[in-house]
Amino acid sequence: MSDLNVGIVGLGWVAGAHIDTFKNVEGANITAVCSRRELDKNQLEQQYGIPLKIYKDYNDMLNDLSLDIIDFCTEHPLHAEQVIAAAKAGKHLF
């Protein structure tokens, strides 16, 4: 079985814990993050130790065919709409 690529939506304290955890899961690769904030690619790589694609638009992230799993680290009221959109895009949900 090939590795699965994970995209993280939301980049607060919870996302950092998820990224650190996924880095220890064999077969899972964190490859992208989506945040409303302006993010610096170099700073993120230095902070997390891995290169990350940065998305500001959630729909652009969902259209990334390289992503298999979307991990939701946003505020709870946003989850339903985001999860439904990810499911419709054929992504696995976490």
Q: What domains lie within the chain, and their CATH numbers?
A: 4-93 (3.40.50.720)
For residue 76 the two structure tokens come to 């709870």
- pLDDT of 1 higher than 90: no
Q: What is the pLDDT of residue 58?
A: 97
At 53, phi and psi to the nearest 5? -75, 145
4: which residues sit within 8 A by CB, 6+ positions away?
A: 27, 28, 29, 68, 69, 92
- What does the mean pLDDT of the chain come to? 96
Confidence of residue 30 (pLDDT cuts 50, 70, 90): very high
Asked if 33 and 54 touch (Cβ cutoff 8 Å), the reply is yes
49: which residues sit within 8 A by CB, 6+ positions away?
A: 23
Asked if 23 and 85 touch (Cβ cutoff 8 Å), the reply is no
Q: Report the alpha-carbon distance of residue 66 to residue 33 in Å, rounded.
A: 13
Q: Provide mean pLDDT across the span 57-65.
A: 98
pTM of the predicted structure, to 2 decimals:
0.94
